[in-house]
Structure 1
Amino acid sequence: MALRHGRTISLLTVGAVTTVLTALTPVTAFAAGGDALQPYAQQELRWERCDADGPARFECAKVTVPLDYADPAGRTIDIAISRIRAGSAKQRHGALLMNPGGPGVSGLGLPVEIQPLLSAGVRDRFDLVGFDPRGVGRSAPIGCGLTADERVPYHPYKAETFATDVARARSVADKCWAKAGDTLPHITTRNTARDMDVVRAALGERKISYFGYSYGTYLGAVYTQMFPRRADRFVLDSALDPALAWRGTLRAAAPGAELAFTRWTEWAAARDAVYGLGATAAKVRKAFWDLVAHADRTPVPTEGGALSGDDIRLRYADFVRVEAVTPWIAALKAAADGGPAGPAAFDAGAVRAADAIDAADNQAAMTWAVFCGDTRDWPRDPEQYRRDAVRDRARYPMAGDLGANVQPCAFWKRPAAEPATVVDNDADALIVQNQWDPQATLVMARGMRRALHGARMVTVAGGEGHGVVVAGPSCASADVDRYLTTGRLPAKDRTCTGQVQ
């Protein structure tokens, strides 16, 4: 659920940025009753060039926030932020804060990465502001010391390996609490939203505009719920259903994977003369599951190593990109039949199940800190996960067990200090969504649309992959540009035709 595009920006000097306090104008003040937070609103930010090798206009600073918002006078942490100023002082509308998803993905480089994807009109009107959320990157990062296996969020369910799955999940929880237990209770989406509001105030803005991708759509929605009068123009790209956070989110990918798989079988069947997987959707389906069964008995050789049937299923997200995945499956089938080793993979541009979090320990730690810390709804009994995995796999054979299997949240030491945020408001927001998104499915995006009554949603018919704006021009681009430059939403939800380029 994270942005995979663009180069990573090296922030060589951001660690040296300091923050001092000084008075700001009353426009940055917090709501009544928030007097204890006023010193945080009264920060003067010291901006420095982020990287000697990067753009000169790309600046970094730090914003000081409370670790625990229930104790504003207690321990503090610094949030690393970055910006590229608006191109036109005359046309400037405000600041566009951005989050690239995750949870746990650094957003410091976003102003440079996103800038080419935005129109000149948007760049003229907004300071583009990135940040590392609390616990991430250069914002008081946490870590758990996890092994490579423990960093992978999805593990196929098998009766004979379930005890290992339980032990792994317990180990992740124990390691995280041992290494970061003093911080974990405060790593939540609600607290990150509070940090965003401190950033808004420290920037001197009455309101903040926002671009959020994947998990960032949930973060943005939580902000609109907590600070409705401070939310300006919010663009949510590839939206998650806030009502599902978070176990429901993991499990909800499976129905979408099944729909994408069915669509793929029909597409491949229509091209049997090219790929030889079967002349009907039923025959293609059988060919695929025969391949999976064969690979479970005898892993299929590829240039990157042998693949089991579960390894193939773990690539469920790739099936939304029918033109890319079909030759790969055909090559695996040929390898299983005794032909040359198949290709290790293909670059479909989709976020793969096994790569849904970065290999870095920080991102893995943040994933579980947020998923487990945001809500009290995770079952505590491992047997509940077993039953759900069996049931979901039977209903959704491609990926049902992957999101339902036991997770570290079953063993998280403390439940969330606050209940999960119920998003139900009239926020002015634009949701943009691909029809065929393997991570934030169309059904999830519609859940976000129901929660934000004042929003509008633009669906890219036939759009494939996770991300609309972040993938480049599409038929939704004009809607995004119009909304950010004028504040005008489409008159109603609409579907446009135009594959993301």
Structure 2
Amino acid sequence: MALRVRRTASVMTAMTAGATALAVLTPATALAADDPLQGYGQQKLRWERCAADQPESLECTTVKVPLDYGDPGGRTIGIAVSRIKAGSTAKRHGVLLMNPGGPGAPGLTMPAGMEPLLPAEVRERFDLVGFDPRGVGRSSPVNCGLTADEQALHHPYSAGTFGQDVARARNVADKCWSKAGDLLPHITTRNTARDLDAVRAALGERTISYLGHSYGTYLGAVYTQMFPRRADRFVLDSALDPALVWRGALRGTTEAAELAFTRWTRWAAARDATYGLGATPEAVRTTFWDLVAQADRTPIPLEGQLFDGDAIRAQYPVFVQVEAATTFVVALKAATAGTPAGPSGTVSAAAETPADAPADAPADAPDMDNVVSAAWAVFCGDAGWPRDPEQYRQEAIRDRAARPLAGDLGANIQPCAFWKSTPREPATAVDNNVNALIVQNEWDPQTPLAMAKGMRRALHGARIVTVAGGEGHGVLVTGRPSCADGYATRYLTTGRLPATDRTCG
């Protein structure tokens, strides 16, 4: 998608020079005296325990970076960084930076969450390094003051409510620019990648290794494109397709939901004697859509909530997990008859926000206004979006017809249609030979297998390990044993990728 870039030639030249300067930062004193980013690579970091409720081994610091890399001598912001030191000084290989996803998810406590999930031979070789990306958590957070309704990513399309959808999207954009207009243009994936390289330099490292989940895979891929010589061992867990950033990614997720739904109807039909949803996939499908139609007439009470048809459809991520989906539909069916059926297995409301996080995320909930506000900053700042509300309306109608389960949920109008500026830089075209390992479940509700294959096409030096039959969003980050574990451990400890792409079960 072509992007209009509102920068003068001189400013663009300055930004390019800044990026180039950062790309050649080294931990040594070989920095040129007139390098505008010299000071950022020579910071003296002060480490201290992150928090009393965190492990003593998790220590934190702040790395100073430019707000605008096109003006490295101007305003600065702080990036909150954490680490757990490698278990062995003798075997230490370097640093393993981590990002949990989002965009908008804080990552400062991720080293503590991941440490018990990683094998000893990985922990002894790497300092585990986490960070809150710019705009998030303790790194100059943005907060738009959004209501719960405004924080939701998905709003179903209907002709009668589209005017409200347009007003909501416009209001979110207006709130964000009113409260954080000085920060928003600079909260982008490219700038976060630049921050990663500034952290690398401040840590005194010539290269970084990396573990990114979900959105973190895109951030990692952008880093490999911008700083290919600084990328060591990159593991991308549940990958996005860089070519779909960002509207294409939202619509692609609902396309994959139809495949998962079809698979579920077959699974449930084969178990009709147990669940009673229908003896054929067609019968199971009819049962489901009859429930949706009934809920549209009279919302179905379930676990203290009322589910109308749109609310049922909004649970589409659950269909990648066939047992949980069956439990949910059985519970809905029982509720229509006034019969309790136990827990429903519905997905959490967090699945309807722009951000996601691995299963090891800390129990204390993040500030959802900050999470969602930062997410919109990245979504709208990374790539261009359509400006005409009519285009969203037409696409929502078409996608709902082609993908009845959730097509309109991914295509309806979003705040980026009313963002106050166009992206300052073109979206990053990822196309390089940097080594990386992609690990992917076959059935993932948020970054489907097709997206991971898109990432594999963009990273020619990568290999992908697909977990056949694997369900859910996240492979390594969930802590559940997986056939991909051995591949990741071997790569992180030796740097050796599989000879070819692999599928394991």
Fold conserved between structures, TM > 0.5:
yes
Provide closer, same or farther for how the CA distance between residues 354 and 274 of structure 1 changes in structure 2, counting only shifts above 3 A.
farther
Identity %: 68
Distance 1:60 1:230 in 2: 23
Q: Which residue pairs with 2:374 in the alignment?
A: 366
2:504 matches 1:496: yes
Deviations 1:282-308 (A, max 9, x none): 000011001001001110111222110
Q: Which residue pairs with 1:16 in the alignment?
A: none
Q: With CA pairs under 8 Å and 6+ residues apart, which has the higher RCO, 1 or 2?
A: 2
Q: Which residue pairs with 1:335 in the alignment?
A: 335
Q: Which residue pairs with 1:9 in the alignment?
A: none
Q: Which residue pairs with 2:3 in the alignment?
A: none
Q: Give the alignment partner of residue 464 of structure 2, picking from 457, 467, 486.
A: 457
Q: How does 1:249-328 map to 2 (within 5 A)?
A: 249-328=249-328
Distance 1:94 1:239 in 2: 24
Q: Which amino acid aligns with 1:208?
A: I
Q: Give the alignment partner of residue 494 of structure 2, picking from 479, 486, 491.
A: 486
Q: Contact between 1:100 and 1:106, CA under 8 Å: does it hold in 2?
A: yes
CA positional deviation for 1:31: 8.6
Distance 1:374 1:83 in 2: 28
Q: Which residue pairs with 1:12 in the alignment?
A: none
Deviations 1:377-408 (A, max 9, x none): x0000000000000001001111001100000
SS at match of 1:35: coil
SS at match of 1:438: coil
Distance 2:33 2:240 in 1: 32
SS at match of 2:339: coil
Q: Which residue pairs with 1:248 in the alignment?
A: 248
Q: Which residue pairs with 1:387 in the alignment?
A: 394
Deviations 1:297-351 (A, max 9, x none): 1101112221101111100000111112202201211222x22356574266896
Deviations 1:457-498 (A, max 9, x none): 00000000000001222000000000000000000000000x
Q: Contact between 1:325 and 1:348, CA under 8 Å: does it hold in 2?
A: no
Provide closer, same or farther for how the CA distance between residues 262 and 33 of structure 1 changes in structure 2, counting only shifts above 3 A.
farther
Q: Contact between 2:315 and 2:346, CA under 8 Å: does it hold in 1?
A: no
SS at match of 1:352: helix
Q: Which residue pairs with 1:470 in the alignment?
A: 477
Distance 1:369 1:257 in 2: 26
SS at match of 1:301: strand
Q: Which amino acid aligns with 1:494?
A: R
Q: Contact between 1:328 and 1:342, CA under 8 Å: does it hold in 2?
A: no
Distance 1:151 1:132 in 2: 20
Q: Which residue pairs with 2:86 in the alignment?
A: 86
Per mean C-alpha deviation after superposition, the further-off stretch among 320-329 and 28-37 is 28-37
Distance 1:484 1:177 in 2: 42
Distance 2:270 2:226 in 1: 50
Distance 1:294 1:104 in 2: 37
Distance 1:369 1:101 in 2: 15
Provide closer, same or farther for how the CA distance between residues 174 and 350 of structure 1 changes in structure 2, counting only shifts above 3 A.
closer
Q: Contact between 1:424 and 1:451, CA under 8 Å: does it hold in 2?
A: yes
CA positional deviation for 1:56: 1.7
Distance 2:102 2:355 in 1: 8
**Where in structure 2 are there 5+ consecutive unaligned residues?**
1-24, 357-365
Q: Contact between 2:105 and 2:355, CA under 8 Å: does it hold in 1?
A: no
CA positional deviation for 1:26: 5.1
Deviations 1:399-426 (A, max 9, x none): 1001100000000010000011000000
Q: Contact between 1:29 and 1:38, CA under 8 Å: does it hold in 2?
A: no
Q: Which residue pairs with 1:17 in the alignment?
A: none
CA positional deviation for 1:124: 0.3
Q: Which residue pairs with 1:231 in the alignment?
A: 231
- How many correspondences in the alignment? 471
Distance 1:259 1:118 in 2: 32
Distance 1:87 1:487 in 2: 19
Q: How does 1:23-422 map to 2 (within 5 A)?
A: 27-28=27-28, 35-336=35-336, 338-340=337-339, 345-346=344-345, 352-353=351-352, 356=355, 360-376=368-384, 378-422=385-429
**Where in structure 1 are there 5+ consecutive unaligned residues?**
1-24
SS at match of 2:59: strand
SS at match of 1:430: strand
Distance 1:441 1:350 in 2: 20
CA positional deviation for 1:53: 3.6
SS at match of 2:277: coil
Q: Contact between 2:317 and 2:347, CA under 8 Å: does it hold in 1?
A: no
Q: Contact between 1:258 and 1:396, CA under 8 Å: does it hold in 2?
A: yes
Q: Contact between 1:316 and 1:352, CA under 8 Å: does it hold in 2?
A: no
